[in-house]
Amino acid sequence: MHWLIGDLQGCDGALGRLLDQIGYSPSRDRIWLLGDLVSRGPDSLATLRRAAAQGFDAVLGNHDLHLLAVAAGVRKAKKSEHLDALLQAPDRDELLGWLRQRPLVAEAEGWLLVHAGLLPPWRAADALGHSAEVQALLADPQALQDFWPQMYGNHPDRWEPSLQGVDRLRLIINTCTRLRFVHADGRMDFELKDGADTAPPGLMPWFEHPERQSLGQPIAFGHWSTLGLMNRPDLLALDTGCVWGGCLSAARIDGGRREIVQVRCEQVQKLGA
């Protein structure tokens, strides 16, 4: 069985309960985590240890990349991110090395998996190709160390095939790990974080853009807790706000069968924190 699981944010206790709920068997089930495995929740260390030891698959989210930048010494972790235990663990290098090998975009059972979203001009093959570019960066220690301080920023905010270097990599990462809304002309917006129905005129959820080239391709994503569970034939949104006191959600996607399983989560962070 193939299961997709939404944003964990270090909530390992909820993950354990969810795995019990679906009757997880390592010999039978394949688990895909849709990014943001760490941060904000109480036990990012246990979450990463479980994911690596069990051989789970995962795509990278913005909090996962932030952890790697913090570990590289180019960013500082906030107290609310609860990363100290992980960063001080004796097996931290092995765990961070496992995380660094994860892609931004992956395929499973005909589904495209990404933490946040895709830009309107991108088809599935484009997204996988752009993900491979970032994976090559993550595998190059020197290039990666030079890149970390330049990863943060909101520009460029619109895809151009001619983009090169840091600008190209930053845009790919922002798209796959931070995107929620786009303008009609395809520009990304990083200010609005509320639900899909809150967008002002000219702004829309990335998956509602009328010229989206990935339309019809089944896509599963997380990242957008205010969107909540979305269970459409070709769209699955699985960040249901576990760390905020919502649910942790899993979706079974194999064999043409769709099954949603959820467990309630204790509130670890206050909304707006």
Per-residue confidence band for 79, with pLDDT thresholds at 50, 70 and 90: confident
8 in a domain, yes or no?
yes
User: In this structure, what are the phi and psi dihedrals at residue 196, rounded to the nearest 5 degrees?
Assistant: -65, -25
23 in a domain, yes or no?
yes
Q: How many domains does the chain fold into?
A: 1
> Residue 78: what pLDDT?
87
- The DSSP-derived string for 89-106 is -TTHHHHHHHHHT--SEE
**Residues with Cβ < 8 Å from 146, sequence gap 6 or more?**
none
82 in a domain, yes or no?
yes
**Residues with Cβ < 8 Å from 193, sequence gap 6 or more?**
180, 226
- Taking 70 as the threshold, does the pLDDT of residue 208 lie above it? yes
> Residue 15: what pLDDT?
98
- Where is pLDDT greater, at 153 or 256? 153
216 in a domain, yes or no?
yes
> Residue 80: what pLDDT?
86
Per-residue confidence band for 271, with pLDDT thresholds at 50, 70 and 90: low
3-state secondary structure of 164: coil
In the predicted model, what is the mean pLDDT of residues 247-266? Answer: 93
pLDDT in tens, 170-187: 999 999 999 999 999 999
Where in the chain does DSSP place strands (E)?
Answer: 2-5, 30-33, 57-58, 105-108, 111-114, 181-183, 188-189, 203-205, 219-221, 230-232, 235-237, 247-252, 259-264
In the predicted model, what is the mean pLDDT of residues 92-101? Answer: 98
- Taking 90 as the threshold, does the pLDDT of residue 272 lie above it? no
pLDDT in tens, 114-132: 999 999 999 999 999 999 9
Are 236 and 4 a contacting pair, CB within 8 Å? yes
Domain boundaries, position 196: 2-264
What are the angstrom distances between the C-alpha of 32 and each of 29, 74, 100, 176, 235?
10, 29, 16, 16, 16
270 in a domain, yes or no?
no
- Taking 80 as the threshold, does the pLDDT of residue 256 lie above it? no
Give the range among 93-107, 115-129, 204-218, 251-265 with minimum mean pLDDT.
251-265
Round to whole Å and give the CA distance between 230 and 69. Answer: 31
203 in a domain, yes or no?
yes
Beta bridge partners of 114: 105
In the predicted model, what is the mean pLDDT of residues 214-241? Answer: 97
Per DSSP bridges, beta strands 247-252 and 2-5 are antiparallel
187 in a domain, yes or no?
yes
Round to whole Å and give the CA distance between 168 and 56. Answer: 29
CATH (domain of 43): 3.60.21.10
269 in a domain, yes or no?
no
